[in-house]
Structure 1
Amino acid sequence: MTPFFGLLHLRASFKAEVGSVVAVLELSRPSYAELLASFTRSFKLSNTPKNVVEHAKLCFLDWLGATLAGSAEKEAEVLAEVFGELSPKESSIVGFKLKAPSHAAAYVNGAVSHMVELDDIHREAIIHPGVPVVPAALALAEKQDVSGEKLLEAIIVGYEVEISIGKAVNPSHYKYWHTTGTCGTFGAAAAACRVLELSEEEIMNALGVAGTHAAGLIEVFGTSSKPLNPGRAARDGVVAALLASRGFT
């Protein structure tokens, strides 16, 4: 079980005044999107407790091990072959001597890392946090040639965002939706935004784009398509950040 770092706290205080026919809802704090964007933009590894940084490193290593294990699966080879044909060659497909566009590499790495179900889990949020976030952060980090410090910042931000949302919507959400695919899309987008160093407004736009992409049916459990949910979440997080960086709203 992956501990929740607990750095991000989503709060909204409100007061309902009920009249004869009208209820007025007053929000006294920023919106959730604003809180998420502010956290994503302002987070710094230098201000983070050492134990959190060390745990983030373990999360990355855990993800890498799960991905290498998954790369031995037949379905992993199929994905690598299909997406490894795409250009430009920006980011590595882990376990294979192949590169692909950043969003495509994120897709393959996200799916492959979930294939043998050795990936980390947060039970309260009912999510495998590493498999959408790390592939998105890693793909763009390689493309942008950023430091390991920036990569860790992106990973921590992504975990915080997706786990916070997962805790907010579950357990009812998990009756129908694969949280790793749905909430993971937001985490992947936040991680990607952190790598690209987007503004708060751009991050909010990216989260909006991620929201309209978010998906993942519980019905695919037991099929070879289940790992595609985190793969798509990783890919769509990258796409959301790239689109927002170019003005998409």
Structure 2
Amino acid sequence: MHPLVSALEGSLIVSCQAYPGEPMQDPRTMAQVASAVQQGGASAVRAQGLEEIAQVTSAVDVPVIGIWKDGVDGVFITPTLEHCLAVIEAGADILALDGTTRPRPDGRTLAQTVSAVREHFDGPLMADCDSLDSALAAAELGIEIIGTTLAGYTPARPRTEGPDLELLGELARQLPPTSVLVAEGRVHTPLQAADARATGAFAVVVGTAITHPTSITRWFRTAVADA
């Protein structure tokens, strides 16, 4: 197992991202957020965008999982080989990319993309998957980290209120030992994070509930208004 991967066992990874048009969508701001979550004990951070990746890697001493979101429909998380190579060039320690079986914008399969990336990068890869089938297929390609990032965000599975614990349990039983399972997606409370770990997740990613004040404010506003 790659040392960067083994160090993540039993830990919290924090996704530091802002949505387009928001006040916090600024590389320096994201770097400050990343530094803050490192102080809080994050074992790694996940950063989106080339400038953000570059700034975050300079601000933290923990591994940076890099992605590049391009588009809003279909495959848009580090969707092509070009995006993958740019994320690597920006300084990511771990490259995350769409791990579903959907058609990719450049016409390459996931297998072809992974093979080409391996020619340029010896760090770990993370597949953002949406189902048992896509996760097992990604693991067969030798991808070191399998994430449930896209479960509930494609037609492959229904969207659960919190993390997809059913999928996590299935993957914990079926993934080969060459890949580790990371829970990501709708982990909004410490209890949900603990449940994900107890269900078999090697590590847990939390994003919105830690680093997205707009969403957190809406949750509290709604709770107060409905009380």
- Which TM-score tier does this pair reach, normalised by the shorter chain? under 0.3
Higher share of residues assigned strand: 2
- TM-score when scaled to structure 2? 0.27
Question: If the length of structure 1 is used for normalisation, what is the TM-score?
Answer: 0.26
Q: Which has the higher helix share?
A: 1
Higher RCO (C-alpha under 8 Å, 6+ residues apart):
1
